[in-house]
Amino acid sequence: MARSQEVILTNMCLIEDENHNIVMQIRDPERYAWSGAALPGGHIEEKESLHEAVVREVYEETGLTISNPKLVGMKHWYTKEGVRYLVFLYRTTEFEGQLCSSNEGEVKWVKRSELATMDLAYDMLNLLRIFDEDNLSELFYAERLEDDFVREFW
């Protein structure tokens, strides 16, 4: 049995201000396979540390320079092609700069109470459980169904 596999490495970061607002990115459905409001983040580049990647991605997508991002968990699944897709989940309250949208999508501060009324990216409310519940650190999509996934929280 092979112990190696093809893997795609990505990240997302929950950036929270002193009023418990979070930065959300509104992704353009014309440009991306998945759309809706999501946390900023992206792909980890070759020879880049996980830390460097999340700082870079947040800056590119929001204009904010984050400090001390804490790895709080991950979500992962297998693509239809059998590739494991890993998303490292970070959280920080330390940042500098002015919020600025990019070609990735509009970014804005959002009150947590507004999330339920927004057009969110797939499964965003379930994903936020990893950030909010201390006993959770992993969301695994164990099985792909026709229109959804079987979720396992750990």
Record the pTM: 0.94
Over residues 33-44, the mean pLDDT reads 89
What are the tens digits of pLDDT across the range 43-101?
999 999 999 999 999 999 999 999 999 999 999 999 999 999 999 999 999 999 999 99
What are the tens digits of pLDDT across the range 93-138?
999 999 999 888 899 999 999 999 999 999 999 999 999 999 999 9
Indicate the domain borders of the chain.
7-153
SS3 letters across 114-151: HHHHCCECCCHHHHHHHHHCCCCCEEEEEEECCCCEEE
Q: Categorize the per-residue pLDDT at 2 as very low, low, confident or very high, splitting at 50, 70 and 90.
A: confident
Residue 97's pLDDT is what? Answer: 97
Angle at 11 between CA 7 and CA 16, to 5 degrees: 165
* Fold classification of 7-153 (topology level): Nucleoside Triphosphate Pyrophosphohydrolase (3.90.79)
